[in-house]
Amino acid sequence: MSNVDSCRAEPGQPARLHLDTDILTRGLKGKAAAFNFLRSLRLARNAVSLGSVETLACHPRTTTHSSWTAQALDEAGISHGLVRISVGIEDWRDLLADFESALEKA
């Protein structure tokens, strides 16, 4: 099971982010929801580079994987609503609050 699959919410279930890994992925309801989530983050930064000490987030379909074909993206599970988060050194409670607040606005 991929990280994408393990974080994908089941139909009718609330969206959840799991903080048991350094890289998180979260599928949201389309590109608009993904960008609303990214714009709503206050602690985590929206950035393409995922190799820093602070928490960073990006939209892989339009950044890191933008050269892939639509078919390859779909086959890899990189949906229009997918966001990728690299967890940094911030307190997990602050990150969780940031993520929950952003999810409400997604």
Structural domain containing residue 69: 22-105
Is residue 80, in this structure, part of any structural domain at all? yes
So what's the pLDDT on residue 67?
92
Domain count, the chain: 1
For residue 20, what pLDDT is reported?
54
How much is the pLDDT for 21?
Answer: 56
How far the first Cα of the chain sits from its last, in Å, is 26
In a domain, 3, yes or no: no
Q: pTM for this one?
A: 0.67
CATH of the domain at 98: 3.90.1150.10
Give Cα separations from 81 to 54, 61, 74, 87 (angstroms): 23, 9, 11, 19
- Average pLDDT per block of 10 residues along the chain, 106 residues long: 41 52 80 91 79 85 92 92 88 90 90
